[in-house]
């Protein structure tokens, strides 16, 4: 279970949000809404442990104190952030990076299984044939970066306790957005929890029964 109590966040001297409280069980998806500037993306990055965000309050996942951990330690505990603008990593091959993530998660795949699974998922997401041989997101469009990140999340969904989706639909064609729903449902089915930030009206409507409006948080 995710428990957030009285979480406040600043970047520099700017207060982004104050006193956010969340309780989310495994298998649940929480939609995060709010006006521009309410701090939706900052909330996800604060949970992930971005170093330039100063926080007070507590964040726990499965009774472990995430707020006391560095970002990479939170990742090891099963927190995955799908970025609004996924980064590139020059000089790092895509499959090499996936293999390192596989090691972090105690090798759920053999190397052969990982290559086979990743190749199938890249094909399913309509990424280029040579995708697994490329440097990570090098020369990729915004939509391709999003698809690549969805593949990563899908590959390791059984190891994900908390999936943070920051506008995962941005830059994707409509036909690919169903894959976001499939990822959320698969993560929840595996016992993970999901926080979703999206401007997509269909996604908002689908998950509107369980939402937090940051504009209402005081």
- Whole-number pLDDT of residue 218: 65
- Whole-number pLDDT of residue 42: 97
Nearest alpha carbon to residue 142 among 113, 116, 176:
176
User: Stretch 24-35: mean pLDDT, rounded?
Assistant: 96
Collapsing DSSP to helix, strand or coil, 91 comes out as strand
Under a CB-based contact definition with an 8 Å cutoff, are residues 30 and 39 in contact? no
pLDDT at 175 over 80: no
What is the domain count for the chain?
Answer: 1
Tens digits of residue pLDDT in 42-54: 999 999 999 999 9
More confident position, 49 or 218: 49
Nearest alpha carbon to residue 192 among 213, 167, 150, 164:
164
The structure tokens listed for 55 are: 């926080």
The structure tokens listed for 10 are: 């600043």
Range of the domain at 142: 2-216
Instruction: Report the greatest alpha carbon distance in the chain.
Output: 51
- Residue 84: give its domain's CATH number: 3.40.50.300
pTM for the model? 0.94
């Amino acid at each position: 279970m995710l428990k957030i109590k009285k979480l406040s966040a600043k970047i520099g001297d700017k207060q982004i949000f104050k006193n956010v409280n969340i309780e989310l069980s495994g298998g649940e998806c929480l939609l995060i809404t709010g006006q521009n500037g309410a701090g939706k993306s900052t909330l996800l990055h604060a949970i992930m442990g971005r170093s330039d965000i100063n926080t007070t309050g507590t964040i726990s996942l499965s009774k472990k104190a995430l707020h006391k951990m560095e970002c990479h330690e939170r990742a090891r505990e099963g927190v995955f952030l799908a970025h609004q603008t996924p980064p590139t990593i020059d000089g790092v091959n895509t499959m090499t990076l996936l293999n390192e993530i596989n090691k972090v998660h105690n090798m759920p795949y053999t190397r052969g299984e990982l290559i086979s699974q990743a190749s199938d998922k890249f094909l399913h997401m309509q990424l280029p044939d040579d995708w697994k041989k490329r440097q990570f997101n090098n020369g990729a469009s915004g939509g391709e970066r999003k698809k690549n990140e969805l593949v990563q999340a899908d590959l390791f969904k059984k190891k994900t306790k908390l999936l943070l989706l920051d506008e995962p639909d941005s830059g994707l064609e409509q036909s690919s957005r169903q894959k976001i729903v499939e990822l959320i449902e698969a993560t929840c089915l595996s016992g993970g929890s999901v926080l979703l930030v999206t401007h997509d009206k269909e996604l908002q409507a689908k998950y509107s029964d369980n939402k937090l409006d940051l504009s209402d948080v005081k």
